[in-house]
């Protein structure tokens, strides 16, 4: 079956069973390696992507459910030359060690800031609660999201 959807602003069509995971299609057919496979059970958050602006686990999401929708992966946030303010804040705060979890965390943080541009620390904690960072970078991650929110709102970080 051919499934058409938009990925990072570009129209894509893939030949795949409707039940193939979105993660598998993103990584193995579209070459978007930033989205990670962690647990495969929606427990760690490594696989988060945005579907029509909402964070979803791509490890269990069937690709057939995104037909006609807009998918944003970590590659769609910014570039090395022009990083999204979240990406820059994570770099500035040195908010990752191994970095395995960060693509999912950045995606959830983006969804939060799109919905709530001035989140409290409690809002950030709640939005990122479904993510597992085994390195223990939680405090720096929270600071990075706060910094990005400040930057996006025109306040000094």
The string of pLDDT tens digits covering residues 44-66 is 999 999 999 999 999 999 999 99
pTM more than 0.85: yes
* 10-76-133 Cα angle (round to 5): 145
Average pLDDT of every residue of the chain: 96
Number of Cβ within a 10 Å radius of residue 56? 20
The string of pLDDT tens digits covering residues 90-110 is 999 999 889 999 999 999 999
- Laid out side by side, the sheet with 54-57 consists of 10-15, 2-7, 70-72, 48-51, 54-57
């Amino acid at each position: 079956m051919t499934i058409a959807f938009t990925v990072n602003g570009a129209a894509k069509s893939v030949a795949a069973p409707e039940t193939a995971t979105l993660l598998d299609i993103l990584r193995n057919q579209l070459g978007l390696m930033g989205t990670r496979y962690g647990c495969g059970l929606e427990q760690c958050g490594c696989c988060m992507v945005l579907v029509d602006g909402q964070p979803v686990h791509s490890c269990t999401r069937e690709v057939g459910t995104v037909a006609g929708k807009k998918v944003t992966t970590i590659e769609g946030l910014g570039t090395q030359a022009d990083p999204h303010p979240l990406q820059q804040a994570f770099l500035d705060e040195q908010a990752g060690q191994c970095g395995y979890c960060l693509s999912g965390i950045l995606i959830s943080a983006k969804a939060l800031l799109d919905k709530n541009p001035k989140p409290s620390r409690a809002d950030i904690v709640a939005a990122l609660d479904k993510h597992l960072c085994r390195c223990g970078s939680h405090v720096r991650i929270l600071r990075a999201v706060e910094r990005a929110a400040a930057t996006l709102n025109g306040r000094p970080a």
